[in-house]
């Protein structure tokens, strides 16, 4: 049986953390490897299920990528020339999980300023 058929879709209620990170170190946010590693570690740390990723390195600079999760997704887009990174973390589960993921990115990317918004999704369909 294919692995994907073993997975169940979690309930839809979750948190979408939408962040803009300013003043990041250019070298870090221009490194596809560093960013992929950051996502991998974050996913592992929180026990989420990785369903696959796509990353792309732009010429001359910039990285764009996402990781699809059984619990939704993480995406990032970077503009190293501005030290600017756009990050989305959407996980179906408790807010503490989304926050833990966000904290991991902040520790690794050390922005000087952050714009952060949190949207609740699927709250109509509450956990039992």
> Which range binds a second copy by CB under 8 A, 40-48, 83-91, 93-101, 102-110?
83-91
Residue closer to a second copy, measured from CB, 12 or 94: 12
Query: What are the start-end ranges of the E strands in the chain?
Result: 14-22, 50-57, 63-69, 72-79, 84-92, 113-121
> Tokens for 42?
């974050």
- Per-residue interface string for the shown chain with a second copy, residues 43-82, x marking contact by CB under 8 A: --------xxxx-xxxxxxx-xxx-xxx-xx-x-x-x--x
CB of 68 to a second copy, least distance (A): 5
């Amino acid at each position: 049986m294919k692995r994907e058929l073993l997975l169940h879709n979690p309930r839809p209620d979750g948190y979408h953390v939408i962040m803009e990170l300013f003043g990041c170190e250019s070298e870090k946010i221009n490194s596809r490897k560093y960013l992929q590693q950051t996502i991998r570690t974050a996913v592992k740390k929180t026990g989420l299920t990785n369903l696959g990723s796509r990353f792309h390195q732009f010429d001359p600079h910039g990285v764009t990528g996402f990781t699809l999760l059984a619990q939704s997704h993480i995406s990032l887009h970077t503009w190293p020339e501005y030290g600017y990174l756009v990050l989305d973390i959407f996980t179906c589960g408790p807010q503490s999980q989304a926050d833990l993921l966000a904290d991991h990115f902040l520790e690794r990317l050390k922005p000087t300023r952050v714009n952060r918004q949190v949207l609740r999704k699927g709250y109509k369909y509450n956990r039992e």
